[in-house]
Chain A
Amino acid sequence: MPSSFDERDSAAFTPLTELQMRDLERMSDEEFWNYARQRVYTLPEAPTHAEYLECKLSGRTCLIALHDLAEVLPPPHKLARLPEMPAWMTGIMAWRDETIAVVNLDLYLPPAPGVHPLSTVECTLLVAHSTGRSVGLLVPAIGLTSRIEFAQISALTDPPGLVPTRNTEIFDGVYLHMPILNISTLLAALVKQIGWAPTHG
């Protein structure tokens, strides 16, 4: 699965078509270097869309960009507990030669008053990865993937009260009443809070 970095950079190095390849072969050295310079100075086209996965939480659904997910798998039979974990952290598990924290996303993003968190007995584990950090996110269920144009994503204030105000920085925006998680910011916040738990409770 390509990371966001790979995807952005690949735009700058769009592969040549077969026709272009043939043209290259016919070029003189001067023509070739002119063409190369032109390609170098051509600004890459910014992506206009991305694929998102629906994560069904208690009473709401949020979206996570697929390129932020390293793996989707059933949760392990048993998670090891760590002393002094935050209440929303379920435990730790071994994943690809490293030990990662597993967080119950439904508890971390508290539902609206009156809505009880869903059981995570038959939940799904999403291993999110960003800037060298990997964290397991437990969600009660996942839905479909959707291709969303960035232009269709609206600001968090629309509609107001959709996401908890204290956590606004971990959202990129809202698409069809579904908040979109900014995984990079979310993981940074999770890692910080897990690290602080022994001293700050």
Chain B
Amino acid sequence: MDEKSFSFDSSEELSPEDLAVIRAFDAMDDLVVASSSGEQAVEIQNTSALSSDNSLIGVESPEDMLILFASEADEDIGIMRRALSQVEQDNSTNSPGLVTLGRAAHKLKGTSGAMGCESMSAIAAQIEEEIQLIKDGGIAFLTGLMALVHAINALELTLQSVVNDGKESQLPLQELLQDLARLKVKTEEQHPVSTETQENTTLPAPNEIQELSPVMAAAQVDTHNLHELISHTEQLVELNTPLQSAQKQVTKSLMELQAAHTRLRRLEGLFSSVVFPDGSADQPPAERPASSLVARILRETFQRTGRQPQARPVPAQPSGLTPEAAAWDEMEMDRFTEHKILLQSFNEAVADVATASAQLKTAFTQLNTLIEQQVRQAMVVRNDALRLRSAPFSILVTRVQRIIQTLNQRHNRAIQLEAAGETTEIDQDILDLLAEPLLHLVRISLSDSLLSLPRSPNQETYRIWLQAQAVSNEIVIDLGFSMPIPGGALETLRGPVQQLHGSVAARRNPSGGVSYQLRFPRTQGVIQGLLVQAAGQGLVIPLSYIDSIDYKHQDPPAQVYWLSKLLGFSSPSTSSIVTLPPLILLAGSHKRVALQVDEIVGEVELIMKPLTEHLKRPGIVGTAVDGAGNVLLIVDLPALIQHNISQQRNQALSAASAGLSPVQPAATRQPATLLVADDSVYMRQSLRQTFERAGYHVIEARDGVEALEYLSSDQSPEVLLLDIEMPNLNGYDLLNILHSQPGIADCKTILLTSRSSEKHRQRAMELGAYAFLGKPCPEEVLLETVQKALTNAS
């Protein structure tokens, strides 16, 4: 459509949106006319400081948008120049400066493309391509540097033409192409820049990764023997549970014996009162003993003495005798003796039981002491065995320290490392997988930050803190930066974190930087957990996943999950439950998320074993066996909840595609809230204008961390428009968090990025993105996608 020939006969036919568009074009024309006055340059200069200010809400005119763009592009070009200088100093294709340069060029490519500055976008793309050629060895290093110098100059000249003339000049691009042709640098074919190749080319230099491990005596141990030793010690520890279970059983039996003894003592008194009522002690016994116990005592007495202790029949009272005379019998002594014998035997039997009970109690006390010693010793042996395959955290700290020293020397800065928990023993499996990505993250983040941050006269001291601690069955590693760092950290750590069944959380720290917390479960060994019942089955929830237990159900959580439903077991009928068992509140969640189980049995300490491959299930990290030989599943709650959410999402999508879910008209709802997360002020403002015109409520985030803060708050939006390249947490990092941590937000995520290759699209969709749009994106496509996302959400 030819926009210049577009005209309207009558403004009455126009909608308010149409009028706003026309006013915007008029303002653009005014800007072009006014640009020759020379005031523009001053205005841009004055507002360059504004671009770093976040108080730009309300800036809507095209002039302001142009100023924003120019200011931001100027900053990006400055970063490129500093990064290029760094590359020249390093004189290596492994220089982190190349990564910074590429990142700045990529950002500028997207922003200028969205602004309609095709020439600048093309030059920025050319810079990306040149960087790739340098890394791949497609051109000589020095030639590549010269090409980059030309390209950055061209970029600067073009920007100058935009600022001075209000439109971009094509001349710098043409001259650049000629220069590149002279240098024989390829310009036609596009080479997509991948984060993988960026990572590969910044592998640590050998001198940087040299370990300064403490000198210690070492012995070579056969791995198989080591595993056997660990396996046997774990079996030894595993015996603790049945041993303690048997111990409890014996304690119970002993208590029953003592109770029986008490009853017997009471019976003894009763028996005595029956045999000797009113203290006369000579009541004739019945002909037949009343109880089998008495009969047995009498029989045993007979066997021991050879005399039948049979009571004589009571003679009939002779007539004419007084009752006193009748009560006297010369043979009464015999009867008395028999009764006495019976009572004495009974007493002796009771005393025997008491003695046996006391002896048993003493023996059992000694046994208890020995069992406790055995349990403790088994744990000591097992810990010793496990230590054979672990290493202190100081090994990693030393390597990070080395990197920082190198960077301090190179940049003449004073970055400080604050380390803690160096003596924490960490599984070799965790260290092996984590060390390189973590060191890579530190190196790249620091290099990039030092290049991007301007050097001030009162030089600020930047800090990094790194600490480790063992919490319950987890290793928790905290890594913090006091300054903003480039995004992509979680993408770097994603592989090892997934492999180790760990998790990563990110937050902005008080210093204005970003902090990451990495949590890794120990794959084997003793696990401390809460034993619960769900759908009639015993399950163990590691204590590290539990924040607290709500017994009174007073403060309702944001989300409650039934464990039986999460596991897909037959769910209990809530109507049949008179009183709900306590809620288990989950740790590490941004919102108050709780778990409902059928019963909380108590705290346990068991040996965890991994499941064989075919028995592995999402959210189940292993099994343990209780004292009775029952298998207990050990639950990885975040993974289980995430799996459940994914299943529900898939089912909803299937149902929607089958036309089963009714689509609500969007008009019936309140204006939806959209969150725009982009590090470009220009892009955020542009998107805000577009969506506000369409009637949406828009909030903005400068980076992934700020977006995460919004998502975790009450302002949680319905749709998130997310850029990939952002500082602190990039788009993939944020998607990773949303994907792995349930309950943060229930919103649809639309990726809006200039990284539009199929690989990026696929990655975003794997991480749960709703849609993937390339920059610049036509307004109608953008609005239509958001509308669809909202319709599906309903």
Contacts and interface: CB of A to CB of B under 8 A. Distances in A.
Given A92-B631, A99-B623, A83 B567 contact: yes
Nearest to A191: B614
Nearest to B609: A99
A191 B611 CA distance: 13
- Greatest chain B CB density within 10 A among A79, A82, A98, A101 is at A82
Nearest to A94: B625
B568 interface: yes
A99 B614 contact: no
Interface in A83-139: 83-84, 92-94, 97-99, 101
Contact of B614 (A78, A80, A98, A101): A101
A191 to B, nearest CB: 5
Contact of A93 (B538, B617, B631, B633): B631
A168 B56 CA distance: 73
B615 A198 contact: no
Contacts of B612: 98-99
B568 A83 contact: yes
A195 interface: yes
A8 B652 CA distance: 55
Nearest to B235: A97
B614 A195 contact: yes
Given A94-B631, A97-B235, A83 B620 contact: yes
A99 B618 contact: no
Contacts of B631: 79-80, 92-94, 99
B235 A198 contact: no
Given A92-B623, A97-B235, 15 more contacts: A80-B633, A81-B567, A82-B633, A83-B567, A83-B618, A84-B617, A92-B615, A92-B631, A99-B612, A99-B615, A99-B623, A101-B614, A192-B614, A194-B614, A194-B615
B484 interface: no
A80 B632 contact: yes
Nearest to B628: A77
A51 B568 CA distance: 42
Contacts of A78: 630
Given A76-B629, A94-B631, A82 B235 contact: no
Q: Looking at chain A's contact residues, is the secondary structure mostly helix, strand, loop, or mixed? A: mixed
Given A92-B623, A97-B235, A99-B612, A80 B617 contact: no
Contact of A83 (B613, B617, B623): B617
A149 B487 CA distance: 71
B632 A82 contact: no
Contacts of A191: 614
Contact of B613 (A98, A195, A198): A195
B25 interface: no
Contacts of B235: 97
Contacts of A195: 613-616
A70 to B, nearest CB: 16
A97 B231 CA distance: 10
If over half of B's interface residues share one DSSP class (helix, strand or loop), that class is named, otherwise mixed; here it is mixed
A84 B569 CA distance: 9
Contacts of B615: 82, 92, 99, 101, 194-195
A78 B632 CA distance: 11
Interface centre among B614, B620, B625 (most CB of A within 10 A): B614
A98 B234 CA distance: 13
A170 to B, nearest CB: 17
| Top 7 closest pairs, chain A to chain B, by CB | A195-B614, A80-B631, A191-B614, A94-B625, A194-B614, A83-B567, A83-B617
A92 B630 CA distance: 9
A191 B537 CA distance: 23
A94 B609 CA distance: 11
A86 to B, nearest CB: 11
13 contacts: A78-B630, A81-B537, A81-B567, A82-B620, A82-B633, A93-B631, A94-B623, A97-B235, A99-B612, A101-B615, A195-B613, A195-B616, A198-B617
Contacts of A98: 612
A111 to B, nearest CB: 25
Contacts of A93: 631
Nearest to B617: A83
Interface in A168-186: none
Give the one of A76, A81, A98, A195 with max B CB within 10 A.
A81
B630 A80 contact: yes
A83 B614 contact: no
Contacts of A81: 535, 537, 567, 569
Contacts of A194: 614-615
A136 to B, nearest CB: 12
Interface string B588-632: 000000000000000000000101111111111001010001111
Nearest to B539: A80
Nearest to B619: A83
B361 to A, nearest CB: 32
A22 B639 CA distance: 69
Contacts of B632: 80
Given A93-B631, A195-B614, A80 B537 contact: yes
Interface in B555-585: 567-569
